[in-house]
Amino acid sequence: MADVATDTEAGVARNNLDDSAPLLHMSPSQADIEIIKRDTRDPYFAVALKEFRWMSSSTFWTALALLLQSFIPFINAVSMGHLGATELAAMTLSTTCYGVVALAPSIGMMGAMETFCSNAYTASRDKTMVGVHFQR
């Protein structure tokens, strides 16, 4: 009996898990959660349609504002095009310079600060440090 090594002595760990059991717990889809949460027997398509209606009605004004905001350079280009080719070229060059010099760096900085400050808020005990990062 002393000659036979046990599994743990030989370095083999024995698990009580079944080989057919999944390694990761499978979570239900968002639609299944909504069905469970509302305690309804509606099919997936009906729940998805309700969610789509809610999302489209709540984001309509934001989408409209972004669409109208993107029309401003288009309207400027059309009105400058009526004046002449030289004026249109000057307006296009100024819009490009504005986008490269001012707009792209500011959007990049806002994206970086969004990530950095959300991490600083969740990782620190002192929540006022987010304001310090914004001021820098």
Q: What is the DSSP letter of 23?
A: S
**112 touches 121 (CB < 8 A):** no
For 18-56, what is each residue's pLDDT tens digit?
555 555 454 555 555 555 556 556 677 777 788 888 888
Does residue 10 register a pLDDT over 60? no
Of residues 107, 113, 135, 106, the one with CA closest to residue 121: 113
Amino acid at 74: F
Helix (H, G, I), strand (E, B) or coil at 91: helix
Residue 13 — very low, low, confident or very high, per pLDDT cuts 50/70/90?
A: very low
Q: What is the mean pLDDT of residues 15-19?
A: 53
Q: Which pLDDT does position 47 carry in this prediction?
A: 74
For the chain, how far is it from start to end, CA to CA, in angstroms? 72
**83 touches 96 (CB < 8 A):** no
Exposure b/e, 25-36, CB count within 10 A at least 16 = b: eeeeeeeeebbe
**40 touches 55 (CB < 8 A):** no
